[in-house]
Each structure stands twice: as C-alpha cells, then as structure tokens.
A = this chain, B = another copy of it.
Amino acid sequence: MIRLHHLNQSRSLRILWLLEELGQPYDLICHQRDAKTHLAPDSLKAVHPLGKSPVIEIDGELYSESGAITELLIERFAPDHLRPATDSVDYGHYLQWINFAESSLMVPLLLEVFTKKAGVTDNEFLNGYIGQEKHKLLSYLDSAVDGKPYIVGNQLSGADFMLSFDLIMLAQRQQLEDYPHIKQYAQQLAKLDSYQRAMRLEANHDKTSAV
C-alpha cells in the first residue's frame, strides 16, 4: 500500500505526477499551507519529524525527500519504464539530472525566495550571485533539452518528474522566456495525460491560490 502526504504548492507535485503515471493504487492525504504565512500546517509534523512534504508510506514504512521517493517508487514499480538500465551510460545522466533539479538548480531559486521573504532585495552580492548562477544553470539545461521531449535518452524518466517542480516555479515567475528550449520542454511535459491528472488533483486541493 502506498500513501502520499501531499502539501499544496510543494515538491510533492513531483510525486503526485509520478504516482499518476505509475498507475499504482495510492491514498492521497492532503495537507494545506496556511493561506497567510504560506507555512506547512502542524498536521505534517504528526506524520514525520521534519514536518515536510512529500512523505510517502510504503507498507507502513515512511520515506521523505522527493529525490529519494522518486528513485524508490521507480525502483519498486517501474524499473524498466521510467529509468535507463542501471548498466547504461544514460543511468549516470539520469541520476545527475535528478540531483541537478533538487541540488544545483534549487540553490539560486531558493535564495531568491528567501531574500524576497526577508525583504533583502537590494543586496548587490546576493542579486549578482542569484542572477549569474541562475543564468548559468538554465543555459546548461536549455542546451540539454534542445529539440528533446525528455531530459534523458528519449524517454520519460524520473529526472523529468524531478525537473517539473523547478519548471513550475520558473514559469510562475515568468523566468522561462529567455530559454526557449526549456519552455518547449515544459510545454511538452504538460501535455502528458498523467501530468494533467496530477495538476487537476492539485488544483482541486489547493485552497491558497483561490484566497
């Protein structure tokens, strides 16, 4: 049995989409951000000491971290479908892009969120670093998806699910305009049936946007 503890507007979107693609039965437990503070609710702390989402339960065992959950669900339920063979050259690239989405690319994106929340928007060092780092990373990603529907080896894989949340963050800030290949890649992913089902579930559940 799989159970997903889902928080609106969070990294859990990656797992919601992945579960829709896997087609395995799962329970969806929805948690809601505070409409004013945008913080996660206390209900998540009752689930896991970190109080974060996504958290999944598989046969009674809890796992956190969206990168780990992505790899684990694919290992258990779609090893031949959503990842390259472990002895292929592409397997290393698959792991690289999974980590890129949550490590390298997330650093300037989160720094931008935090400096804005903190009201520190005129710091020369921070603005310079965020701008340059984002441009370097997005240029690299833009080249990597040039003319390709998926990031690794011409097939949908865990790396696409991981990148999707970064793309949603960037699109919301209108920051994909200068990166046409990333934009085309994001549009391609958004056409998939499982992606659309996941976004409908999120829209039904997300009360923040409507406030």
Copies of this chain, complex-wide, total 2
Bound CA–CA A89/B75 (angstroms): 12
Nearest-Cβ distance from residue A34 to partner chain B, whole angstroms: 15
Bound CA–CA A106/B89 (angstroms): 28
Bound CA–CA A23/B9 (angstroms): 44
A107 touches B110 (CB 8 A): yes
* A65, CB-defined interface residue at 8 Å: yes
DSSP majority for the A interface?
helix
* A72, CB-defined interface residue at 8 Å: yes
* A93, CB-defined interface residue at 8 Å: yes
- The residues of A with any CB-CB pair to B shorter than 8 Å are 49-52, 58, 61, 63-68, 71-72, 75, 86, 89, 91-93, 95-96, 98-100, 102-104, 106-107, 110-111, 114, 117-120, 123, 125-126, 129, 136-137, 139-140, 143
B114 touches A63 (CB 8 A): no
A65 touches B95 (CB 8 A): yes
B99 touches A140 (CB 8 A): no
B75 touches A61 (CB 8 A): no
Nearest-Cβ distance from residue A200 to partner chain B, whole angstroms: 27
A91 touches B103 (CB 8 A): no
B118 touches A125 (CB 8 A): yes
Nearest-Cβ distance from residue A135 to partner chain B, whole angstroms: 12
Given contacts A50-B137, A63-B92, A72-B95, 16 further A-B contacts (CB under 8 A): A50-B140, A58-B92, A61-B89, A61-B92, A63-B95, A64-B96, A65-B100, A67-B95, A68-B92, A99-B102, A103-B103, A107-B110, A111-B111, A111-B114, A117-B125, A118-B125
Bound CA–CA A201/B167 (angstroms): 39
CB contacts (< 8 Å) of A64 on chain B: these are 96, 100, 104
Bound CA–CA A107/B52 (angstroms): 14
Bound CA–CA A112/B83 (angstroms): 36
A123 touches B118 (CB 8 A): yes
Listed by A's residue number, 17 A-B pairs whose Cβ atoms lie within 8 Å are A49-B136, A49-B139, A49-B143, A51-B136, A61-B92, A63-B92, A63-B95, A65-B95, A65-B99, A68-B92, A68-B96, A68-B100, A71-B95, A75-B86, A103-B103, A118-B123, A118-B125
